[in-house]
Amino acid sequence: MPEELHDQNIHSLVPLDPPQVYLERSPVTKGIREDVIGWRQQIKTILSGGDTRLLVIVGPCSIHDEKAGLEYARRLVALSHELQERLFIVMRVYFEKPRTTVGWKGLINEPNLDGVMNPSEGLGRARQFLLEVARLGLPSGTEWLDPITPQYLADLVSWGAIGARTTESQTHRELASGLSMPVGFKNGTGGTKHSIQIGVNGMIAASNPHVFLGMDVEGRVAQTHTKGNLGVHLILRGGEQGPNYGSDSVASACEMLAKAKFPERLLIDCSHDNSGKDHSRQPAVFRSALEQRSRGVVGMMIESHLSEGNQSLKEGPENLRYGVSITDACIGWEQTAELLRQV
């Protein structure tokens, strides 16, 4: 037999239902549709300076237990109503986790935490979770990693992010140019002035029209013609060289934004390299970054869960503690509520 030309390293190809099937199984009501449109517009207004409230993206590093995630959402929506005159709160709802090498890649890929990859089930559960959060009256924000995922979930997402590992990716810049919600670009993993420019370059690319190969809601490969996303913005998250939430870094970033003809407004990620990957330092980063409000900081990101810290999945899903992250360590609920009330 002649050697095959295709699929030499493919174990199997498993058909996946098209997005339309998922949208019909878990449909968006008229009320939720209006809410999502309104939440997106409020975020855009904050980013443009028309609303002086602080934008806060807060929630678990990743969603691995929907029950705990919804308990967090119920607490957060009550806090959001309490603080709505000063803060606009969006729940962090992350289903995809970029890995430096290998590891658990999120609810969509491995929904049952058992080593079995089942995106078909994971997409359905992710969509249902977003619906439940929206029914509570709370906007959701997520990082877009797989370029196909938005067709299944984007109608329920009010804010999106392109992460530090993908901010230089042409695929993700083109994807962001066609998304319907505001999208933040993080600086690259280096954390230097050059890595901040990488994030700004991502904004420039995503704010312009593109044509790329994508998929429609019926699952067909399609030429995707985008208009460009005018809701793009910058997120400073630190890097290998250290944090970048200080006045010098913010001023430098604002200069780059002005040069690229963007508003001099940005978000600070209080976790990751800005906190030295120490979750207990997030409140200090948050308070320090608040001092930059008059210099262009219009929003913050915080990794927070019901209980602080994190835990390893290696002990098995049956041994996991309820409400504790299995990816990055988070601050606990009580500390989160106290921190936001202090604003």
Q: Is residue 13 assigned to a domain?
A: no
Write out the chain's pLDDT in tens, 343 residues: 556 788 888 888 899 999 999 999 999 999 999 999 999 999 999 999 999 999 999 999 999 999 999 999 999 999 999 999 999 999 999 999 887 777 899 999 999 999 999 999 999 999 999 999 999 999 999 999 999 999 999 999 999 999 999 999 999 999 999 999 999 999 999 878 899 999 999 999 999 999 999 999 999 999 999 999 999 999 999 999 999 999 999 999 999 999 999 999 999 999 999 999 999 999 999 999 999 999 999 999 999 999 999 999 988 899 999 999 999 999 999 999 999 999 8
10 in any annotated domain:
no
- Tell me the torsion sign for CA atoms 244, 250, 255, 258: positive
Which CATH number is 246's domain given?
A: 3.20.20.70
Which two three-digit tokens encode residue 199? 């994030």
Measured distance between the N- and C-terminal CA atoms of the chain, rounded to whole angstroms: 71
Amino acid at 35: D
Which among 53, 146, 158 has a CA at the least distance from the CA of 96?
A: 146
Tell whether pTM > 0.85. yes
In a domain, 122, yes or no: yes
Rounded Cα distance between 315 and 232, Å, is 40
CA 157 to chain CA centroid, Å, is: 10
How many other C-beta atoms lie within 10 A of the C-beta of residue 252? 17
Domain carrying residue 251: 19-342
Which neighbouring-strand residues pair with 331? 304
Q: For residue 9, tell me if it sits in a domain.
A: no
Is residue 130 domain-resident? yes
Q: How many domains does the chain have?
A: 1
| Angle separating helix axes 119-135 and 66-82, nearest 10 degrees | 30
Q: Is 6 contained in some domain?
A: no
